[in-house]
Amino acid sequence: MYSQYLPKSVAIIPDGNRRWAKLHKFRLVTGYDIGINKAIDVSIWLSKLKIKSLSIWALSTENIKNRNKDELKLLYKLYKSTALDQKVLDKLKKHDAKVIIIGNLNLLPKGVRDALKKLEYATKDHKSTIINLLIGYGGQEDILFAVKKMLSDKLKNKIKTINQKVFQSYLRSASLMNPDLIIRTSGEMRLSGFLPWQSTYSELYFINKYWPEFNESDLKTAIKDYAKRHRRYGK
């Protein structure tokens, strides 16, 4: 692969943790625990290819609304313990990886919010790799949030004009690079509201493997597939 054909930014919908755990007769917590830690591994695999930016969807607004409460409690416990785990912090420091939290954190329990903010602060000076962790995030909610905030500022004469650049600046996900490549695991072939504003010209790659099974070879295969594509951007 030649560097000019590599994506600059990769985004992932890490689907299939529950199905993988059920298939292998593991406890649900095992599937989620492997899935959460795999995000860091993927960022390391990408950094070997000189790809700096990874955006990964940890928990959607729909998950928070529709998932079983006990399952959500389990997820929250894992997110909190992982964010405060010194081994995780040491691994992120070793690989100079910064974590940026994106989403409506008000949807999360305070203990989880605080832990995630501590993780973000602890890694703020790292520069080699960026892990954008989307949690409490939904694409439609993101756009609605931007519209409400932007119109409020417009009525207060804080902004003079509304255009694409201005609108994007109001998104919760405003700091994200538009992903060149979006990967979804588990065989599902849809985006489910993932980054609707930024994904307009993203290349999509679907793999029929559950997220806990996804490995470095799978990632390289996806990127090789991307490198063969001709991106036209509406031309």
Q: What is the CATH number of the domain that holds 73?
A: 3.40.1180.10
Q: What is the pLDDT of residue 230?
A: 85
Q: Cβ distance 223 to 6 under 8 Å?
A: yes
Q: What is the pLDDT of residue 5?
A: 85
Q: What is the pLDDT of residue 136?
A: 98
Q: What is the pLDDT of residue 3?
A: 52
User: Does 160 map to a domain?
Assistant: no
Q: Which residues are catalytic?
A: 15, 63
Q: What is the pLDDT of residue 4?
A: 63
Q: What is the pLDDT of residue 232?
A: 81
Q: Which amino acid is at 49?
A: L
User: Does 156 map to a domain?
Assistant: no
User: Does 144 map to a domain?
Assistant: no
User: Does 143 map to a domain?
Assistant: no
Q: Which residues contact 102 (CB under 8 A, 6 or more apart)?
A: 55, 132, 133, 134, 135, 137, 172, 173, 175, 176
User: Does 40 map to a domain?
Assistant: yes
User: Does 50 map to a domain?
Assistant: yes
Structural domain containing residue 28: 3-138+178-227
User: Does 232 map to a domain?
Assistant: no
User: Does 154 map to a domain?
Assistant: no
Indicate the pTM of the whole model. 0.95
Look at the chain and report how many structural domains it folds into: 1
Give the pLDDT of the chain (235 residues) as one tens digit per residue: 545 689 999 999 999 999 999 999 999 999 999 999 999 999 999 999 999 999 999 999 999 999 999 999 999 999 999 999 999 999 999 999 999 999 999 999 999 999 999 999 999 999 999 999 999 999 999 999 999 999 999 999 999 999 999 999 999 999 999 999 999 999 999 999 999 999 999 999 999 999 999 999 999 999 999 999 988 877 7
- Taking every pair of Cα atoms in the chain, the longest distance, rounded to a whole number of angstroms, is 58
Q: Which residues contact 86 (CB under 8 A, 6 or more apart)?
A: none
Q: What is the pLDDT of residue 204?
A: 98
